[in-house]
Structure 1
Amino acid sequence: MFSLSPPPPLPPSPSPPKHHLPLQQTQTYNTHLHKKPITSSIPDFIFTAFSIFFLFSSSSPKPTSAPVNVIHKFPFPLNPRKFFRIPIMSSPSSRAPNRFPNPQSLSDWLKPRLPSDSFASWGVKPGTKNVHNLWLELSEGETTLLADSTPPIRTVDVVIVRVIGGEQNNKLLLESHQELSNGHVRNRCRPLSEKMKPGESVEAAAFRAVKEELGSVLPEGLDGDIVKIVPNSYSKKVEERASASYPGLPARYVLHTVDAVVEGLPHGEFCTEELEEYDDSDEKRAAHGAVSCKKHYWKWVDSYSDAKI
């Protein structure tokens, strides 16, 4: 009997070359070798939709109505004013204290605020007053100093009494000059005038001015029958000018002017003695160095052109 031996094993089949791989395997291989970024299809979809929309909108008929106004949008509100802060009104001008402890404190305050040569002439130059006079004016409330400027501004209300006389009231009384307590002469050439007190009416100030400066030649018991203010003669104006009494200190004068008839005055030139301007007080004693007016010299003129009003 013949015995059959098992057949020898078949040799392994060789691997096909890479280019002979099946198509599916080749694609998989290439995919692993070259990874390309995956792009989304959304932009293509948007572009396609936009193209279709543009195609249909361009073919649709245009409306025949009036064009609509375009409203431009701004990055701020259309009514921005309601967001603005309302500006605060300027505060009133600051004022220097009306009552310095003494004339020296006023002098110390004024010295750095005024030209040195002008301040040094106070009370020395003929016709000027000194710091004692200004301190008295502040103490009595006749003068205020606006301190928010350099130099400060002296503000004073003044009553001007244009005393008229003559047979037809065609004369005007002028003060030609003054004789001061320090011996100086102060030229005036202006009508009767006086600084007003706080809260004083024009009529009361006019009556007081006549009494203080003309009273020495008037009958005793000066009353309202002697001084008569002309109706509708009142006027008011404001002037800013350099002060003759206080060089270097600018002044703002609020001028209240009235015409008045004063009975009993001399017809020609005459002189009067000044009554005490300030009552005896601690303030007056503290300002004992103030320059005062001792005598007033008056004359009548024919017209208003000769008066410095």
Structure 2
Amino acid sequence: MMEKESPPPAAAQATQPTDPLPHPGPAPMRPPSPPRPPLAFPTLDSLAAFLRPRLPPQALASWGAAPGTKTLLNLFLELSHGDCALHLPATPPPRVVRDVHVATVRIRNRCGARLVETRQLLSDGRIRSRGPRPLSEKMRPGESPEAAAARAVDEELGESARVRILGAAEARVEERESASYPGLPARYVLHAVDAEVVDGVPEDGEFETEETGEDEGCGGAITVKRHYWEWVKDDGDSEHKEVAAAAGAPAR
């Protein structure tokens, strides 16, 4: 019968010195939390039920009734198309915020004058003052400012308008109550895009164009039917007011 070999002494097992434990350094910084996803609403009633307790009393009743405002259906369509998003701030008070990215197109003619919109004819027959303000378009998810600017030219100035898109400047943020939806705080991210007329647009005086990009056949939604334009001389103060108008500020 063979005898079992005894295990070697513990000291004999360690043939290499043990490396010392590394000194713990500072913990790595965690990446910032991703932005909260926008709120989604499957029906018009679900949107109304969400907004009613988060808006001032009678705010919803004024939408579409007060001059220059839009309806709840308009907001529902904007959300459905990705033209804007609703978010609940992470800090109190728990009020909802409408988040909109806007391409403001600063079109100039050969004389250096800027094109501004002075008013609009709405589908309910009302005339809405526009500030004046530059050609503007709500940006869609994944859309660049330049692409939104080109789409705005086609939809508001017409397919015959040829405008050269030059590039976008750094975005700026304006926070104010929405003029279209009173009582609803809004955060406008404004992307200024420079452009110049090539052809197909009158380059002096006033003119008007038909809107081709608004939803048709949506009962209860207020749409734009015609745009009224004017060329204005370059003025730093006027340009600031036009940008503010693009962010929903009332005309002063």
The gaps in structure 2 that reach 5 residues or longer are: 1-23, 244-252
| d(CA) in 2 for partners of 1:96, 1:203 | 24
| d(CA) in 1 for partners of 2:166, 2:38 | 38
| d(CA) in 1 for partners of 2:117, 2:153 | 12
| Aligned match of 2:211 | 274
| d(CA) in 1 for partners of 2:233, 2:154 | 24
Q: Give the TM-score normalised by structure 1.
A: 0.62
Question: RMSD of the TM alignment (CA)?
Answer: 2.5
| d(CA) in 2 for partners of 1:93, 1:227 | 35
Q: Kindly tell me: are residues 90 and 207 of structure 1, through their superposed partners in 2, closer, same or farther at Cα, counting changes over 3 Å?
A: closer
- More strand as a share of residues: 2
Q: Which amino acid aligns with 1:258?
A: V
Q: Which amino acid aligns with 2:229?
A: W
Q: Kindly tell me: are residues 163 and 91 of structure 1, through their superposed partners in 2, closer, same or farther at Cα, counting changes over 3 Å?
A: same
Instruction: Check conservation: 1:141, 1:197, Cα contact below 8 A.
Output: yes
The gaps in structure 1 that reach 5 residues or longer are: 1-81, 279-283
- More helix as a share of residues: 1
Q: Give the TM-score normalised by structure 2.
A: 0.75
Q: Which amino acid aligns with 1:182?
A: D
Distance apart, 1:277 and its partner CA: 2.5
What SS class does the counterpart of residue 171 from structure 2 fall into? strand
Q: Which amino acid aligns with 1:306?
A: S
Which of 224, 229, 247 is the aligned partner of 1:298? 229
| Aligned match of 1:154 | 98
What SS class does the counterpart of residue 116 from structure 1 fall into? coil
Instruction: Check conservation: 1:114, 1:150, Cα contact below 8 A.
Output: no
Same amino acid, percent of matched pairs: 49
Are residues 1:143 and 2:84 paired? yes
Q: Which amino acid aligns with 1:106?
A: L
| d(CA) in 2 for partners of 1:197, 1:93 | 17
| d(CA) in 2 for partners of 1:276, 1:205 | 12
What SS class does the counterpart of residue 190 from structure 2 fall into? strand
| Aligned match of 1:248 | 183
| Aligned match of 1:199 | 142
What SS class does the counterpart of residue 220 from structure 2 fall into? coil
Q: Which amino acid aligns with 2:163?
A: V
| Aligned match of 2:155 | 212
| d(CA) in 2 for partners of 1:107, 1:88 | 38
| d(CA) in 1 for partners of 2:170, 2:201 | 25
Which of 94, 99, 117 is the aligned partner of 1:175? 117
Instruction: Check conservation: 2:150, 2:165, Cα contact below 8 A.
Output: no
| d(CA) in 2 for partners of 1:204, 1:140 | 16
Q: Which amino acid aligns with 1:157?
A: H
Instruction: Check conservation: 1:133, 1:290, Cα contact below 8 A.
Output: yes
